Chains A and B, each alone.
Chain A
Amino acid sequence: MNMTQQISEAVRPHDWPGLADPVHDSQRLFRQLLGAMSEPGTLTELALPALPAGAAISPAAWGALLALCDLDTRVWVDQGLARANLAAALAFHTGARLTDDPALADFALVTPDTLSREDGFALGSDAWPDRSTTLIVMVEALAQGEDWWLSGPGVPGRRGLALGSAERALPLMRVLAANRGRFPRGLDAFISSGMRLTAIARSTRLAGPGLAATDDAERQEESA
């Protein structure tokens, strides 16, 4: 169709970067992911080589996939992100299987917009809340800010985030804010832009424009 499309089709799986030292690189990436999930809203930079031209996912998201996926994991990919032969590259580098059924996905590559269309991801059950999908989200920008306020485990006081346009991030934040109402079921998210990554755990309380103020009500109830 255009130049980008031509390049995408020419990308071979091994044009996507792997880990030069799989043992130590995946350990280092995991520790960054663990740190991010332990302290939601903190920013970390995942050092990774450039992705091939035409790739629609962030290097940080690719790093998370390389560190966490193998033949035991199933990945659901939003069609808009499956560019530059991503599916073949993921299979080539990690052995992970792709799935069309979001309810079977261990990981899902999404944008905030995906979540306004697709709500079938696994939440786990009350008895087995760990059987849930972990979202790996592409956002247009990621920085400390004052659009979204996080509190709860891993956050002393509260922590502020900005994800570019608050309006466009809203479908994501609505889904993550709903976690509190159904805890321990829920979706955990790694949120990435470029090399940068943060996490929001299902235990995180969220406040921001367009979100119901359940957080304050809950806190009052707890202190009562």
Chain B
Amino acid sequence: MNTASNAQGVGAGAPTNAIDSGYNFAYLDEQTKRMIRRALLKAVAIPGYQVPFGGREMPMPYGWGTGGMQLTASVLGADDTLKVIDQGADDTTNAVSIRAFFERVAGVETTTATAQASVIQTRHRIPEKTLRADQILIFQVPIPEPLRFIEPSEEETRVMHALEEYGVMHVKLYEDIAHHGHIATTYAYPVKVDGRYVMDPSPIPKFDNPKLHMSEALMLFGAGREKRLYAIPPHTRVESLDFEDHPFEIQAWDEPCAICGATDSYLDEVIIDDQGARMFVCSDTDYCNSRSEEKA
């Protein structure tokens, strides 16, 4: 390399935290990152289409977020601030472990505050606080194919996506109505991206679906076991499938959050004794904490 011709400013991003030097930055080797990066660019250019990628083994089992972690590892830079949430919480085993993992192998700053994060890896929730254009949300996806429970064959579902043959998805929602009187799908509720691809938004509650529509932030989805990734660029139309006489609705609760009093957030039901008493609290712990602190 001709070092004399290399300009200033290049190489200024070396991490400062204690870092496990036995690994490449952010664990994955550079060629794997480049392969995932090329796939991500395709995913962004074809919103909602599942791009295959050569998924690598991560030091944890499938189902714990290996897809999300590979995307995070490929996107993450030394100057990023990472937040990891699991079911809305920053303090569960999965979230704590993944955060610690990237602290160790990438030396990046981590945070629990949504507003301070530049990259957020998530499982099963979208933060309540509206995301900004300079943030990237990375979803862990168990099963990326929204048609899988209707059509088990990958070959068939691929043809269905190619031909935009999505009638069967509406049949499934209609069967819900026939059985239950309403659409009973409450999570992983299928969406249509930019009027073309039907996409599984990962098992987020349907409460979060409206946050996908015209988001300011880029959203990336990674499925490790299935080795698929997909994306929703910012400012993209994302519609939840529904019927004229059964329009899409999000969950609502009769009571506010028992801790912070929020009436606009997704609430978890928590059993608090052996008599069946219960309370409802925000699933987004950062949102709940910051509201409680504001009040105090």
Considering only CB atoms, which chain A residue lies closest to B235 in the complex? A156
CB proximity to A under 8 Å, residues B198-228: 214, 218
Return B205 CB to nearest CB of chain A, in Å.
24
Q: Cα distance A35–B232 when bound, in Å?
A: 12
B234 within 8 A of A: yes
A34-B235 contact, Cβ under 8 Å, with A23-B25, A24-B13, A27-B76: no
Most buried by B among A24, A39, A201: A24
Chain A CB within 8 A of B139 CB: no
Other-chain contact of B236, A37, A47, A154 (Cβ < 8 Å):
A154
Contact stretch, chosen from A125-133, A164-172, A207-215:
A125-133
Q: Which residues of B contact A22 (CB under 8 A)?
A: 30
User: What number of residue pairs across chains A and B have CB atoms under 8 A from each other?
Assistant: 156
Cα of A69 to Cα of B35 in the assembled complex, Å:
9
| Nearest-neighbor residue (CB-CB) of A201 within chain B | B45
Cβ 8 A contact of B41, one of A28, A34, A49, A154: A34
A101–B38 alpha-carbon span in the complex (Å): 20
- Of B109-117, B156-164, B242-250, B280-288, the one contacting chain A is B156-164
Contact A47 B7, beta carbon cutoff 8 Å: yes
Report the 3 A-B pairs with minimum CB-CB distance, sorted nearest first. A21-B11, A126-B162, A201-B45
Pair A130/B49 contact, Cβ less than 8 Å:
yes
Residue-wise interface mask of A (42-68) relative to B, using a CB-CB cutoff of 8 A (1 in contact, 0 not):
000001111000000000000000011
Binary interface encoding of chain A residues 8-40 relative to chain B, with 1 for a CB under 8 A from any of its CBs, else 0: 000000111111111111111011011101110
6 contacts between A and B (CB under 8 A): A47-B9, A50-B7, A71-B31, A132-B42, A152-B194, A153-B233
CB distance from B37 to the nearest CB of A (A): 5
B47 to chain A: closest residue by CB? A153
Do the beta carbons of B235 and A155 come within 8 Å of each other?
A: yes
* Nearest CB in chain B: distance from A51 CB, A: 9
A134 close to chain B: CB less than 8 A? yes
Asked if A203 is at the interface of the complex by the 8 Å CB criterion, the answer is: yes
Interface residue? B256 (CB, 8 A): no
Contact B14 A21 (CB under 8 A): yes
With contacts A20-B6, A47-B9, A68-B38 taken as known, whether A129 is within 8 angstroms of B46 at the C-beta atoms is yes
- Chain A residues near B233: list those with CB within 8 A: 37-39, 153-154, 201, 203
Residues in chain A near residue B277, CB distance under 8 A: none
A218 nearest in chain B by CB position: B195
Query: Which A residue sits closest to B53, measured CB to CB?
Result: A130
Q: What string of 1s and 0s marks CB contacts (under 8 Å) between B20-44 and chain A?
A: 0000110000110111011111111
Q: Would you call B37 and A47 a contact (CB within 8 A)?
A: no
| Interface size range on A against B | 35 or more
B52 at the interface (CB under 8 A from A): yes
Please measure, in the bound complex, the distance between the C-alpha atom of A28 and the C-alpha atom of B11, giving whole angstroms: 10
Known: A24-B77, A30-B37. A48 touches B7 (CB 8 A): yes
B5 at the interface (CB under 8 A from A): yes
B14 touches A37 (CB 8 A): no
Contact across chains for B45 and A203 when beta carbons are under 8 A apart: yes
- A184 CB-CB contact with B under 8 Å: yes
Q: Which of A24, A30, A68 is in CB contact (< 8 Å) with B14?
A: A24
Would you give the shortest CB distance from A20 to chain B, in whole angstroms?
4
What is the CB-to-nearest-CB distance from B277 to chain A, in angstroms, rounded to a whole number? 47
Q: How far is the CA of A129 from the CA of B43 in the complex (A)?
A: 10
Residues of A within 8 A of B96 (CB): none
Q: Are A21 and B34 in contact (CB under 8 A)?
A: no
Residues in A with CB closer than 8 Å to B9 are 47
- Convert A197-210 into 0s and 1s, putting 1 for each residue whose CB lies closer than 8 angstroms to a CB of B: 00001110000000
Q: Would A49 and B5 be within 8 Å (CB), given that A38-B44, A203-B46 are in contact?
A: yes
Cβ A28 vs Cβ B42 within 8 A: no
Specify which of A31, A72, A73, A155 is in contact with B77 (CB 8 Å cutoff): A31
Tell me if B30 and A26 are in contact (CB < 8 A): yes
Q: Quick check: is B75 within 8 A (CB to CB) of the other chain? A: yes
Contacts of B44 in A (CB 8 A): 34, 37-38, 154, 201
Choose from B51, B163, B196 the contact partner of A183 (Cβ within 8 Å).
Answer: B196
